[in-house]
Amino acid sequence: MCFHYQNGEMYAEGVDVKRIAREVGTPFYCYSSDKLTQNYQAYREALAEFNATVCYSVKANTNLAIVSALARMGSGADVVSAGEMYVAMKAGIPADKIVFSGVGKTAAELEAAIKNQILQINAESAAEVRAINEIALRLGIKANVALRVNPDVDALTHVKITTGKKENKFGVDWDDALPLYREASKMEGVRLAGIAVHIGSQLLDAEPFRLAFAKVAAMVRELEAEGIVLDNIDLGGGLGINYNAELPLTCTAYAEVVRETLGSLHKHIIVEPGRSVVGNAGILVTEVVCTKKMGSKNFIVVDAGFNDLVRPAMYDAWHTIQPVSKKGVAPLIADIVGPICESGDVFAKDRIIEPVQAGRLLAIMCAGAYGASMSSIYNFRPLVPEVMVRGGEFCVVRKRTSYEEMLAGHSLPAWL
């Protein structure tokens, strides 16, 4: 295992986590190169029979070292901003392996995507398709466009990360998609490259995928009957991981759904995994500041806050939390909380955990996705270091920001 115990001490691959803490300080993120590789290769192997491109969803974790490691393995990128596109290309991912999604792309972002001649822009409205056409005509470049269709399929996931229902902001309404394809097929600045769908994140059941993919297959056949032939079918991401006691789909089971619903179409398949590539490849290590008791309630106060990992506060998300050094003593029930001046700065409520004292380290597991990438400097707290391990070595791949760096972009008006 990539994060495991040896004689009661947690190791990240072959590196003692306490050693990293001594050298880097806490809190910090730690990523396993080996787990990252295993997760990416699982997709490559499961989809080997298809003409498939695995496009890592950069929003899950934008760290340059992670994106670069995936680029070296042949990964493409799914991006949702010009900034993420910049990171992907800086990491060595070629433009013809980049897909640009997102409901509110600006004209400047669309222009950058068209100039770079990326694999495809997943357009999410008629207005966006028309804007792409105008920009492409001005630039004299034909833009590769897919429509992201909204299939009105319930992903059976958290309300804040479901994206494929009519009430969600994403994609082109299913009933409007065919007319928009017809309109786009006549645009001089557009090359219709594909169709895209993404119904949500942290999916644990195959059935929503099956329903969505079957609807996409039917639309592809209807388009081809009208002479609109597409090269790519972009299936989005969404596979869940095991945070607590979930039973996520395997990549093999996912590939079977792709085979059943889309295999006969013989199209270039694009998948956009994020969480399932990097989620369980990362942990957040934090030090206990103090413990306290309020009535019958135990609190373990740590030096990480929701500015470092916002998922529990934002989504009521569960993360397993483990002592870095296990003593084997009887557990207690406690809330594990951070130092932020907000009552919502709670990582776990009523958690059964081994008692720990000030100075002990805790590891918040499965924090590789939507941890560092969603972090902030709220309470003017520095962004924490990110560390990558490989075998018996580790490297700081993003340093802790200093107060001077945090203020560097500030300026005072003339009247002060």
Cα torsion at 77, 285, 351, 311 (round to 10°)? -30
Q: Out of 55, 251, 290, 341, which one is annotated catalytic?
A: 341
Q: How far apart are CA 96 and CA 101, in angstroms?
A: 15
CB-neighbour burial class of residue 218 (10 A; exposed 0-12, middle 13-18, buried 19+): exposed
Residues 6+ apart with CB under 8 A from 233: 194, 195, 196, 216, 220, 262, 265, 267, 268, 269, 270
H/E stretch holding 219 reads helix 206-225
Q: How far apart are CA 274 and CA 206, in angstroms?
A: 17
Contact 231, 193 (CB under 8 A): yes
Contact 369, 319 (CB under 8 A): no
- Determine the straight-line distance between the first and last CA of the chain, rounded to whole angstroms: 57
Q: How far apart are CA 323 and CA 365, in angstroms?
A: 11
Query: Is the peptide bond between 27 and the residue preceding it cis, with omega within 30 degrees of 0?
Result: yes
Contact 58, 316 (CB under 8 A): no
Q: How far apart are CA 371 and CA 379, in angstroms?
A: 17
Is 341 a residue of the active site? yes
Q: Looking at the annotation, which residues are catalytic?
A: 341
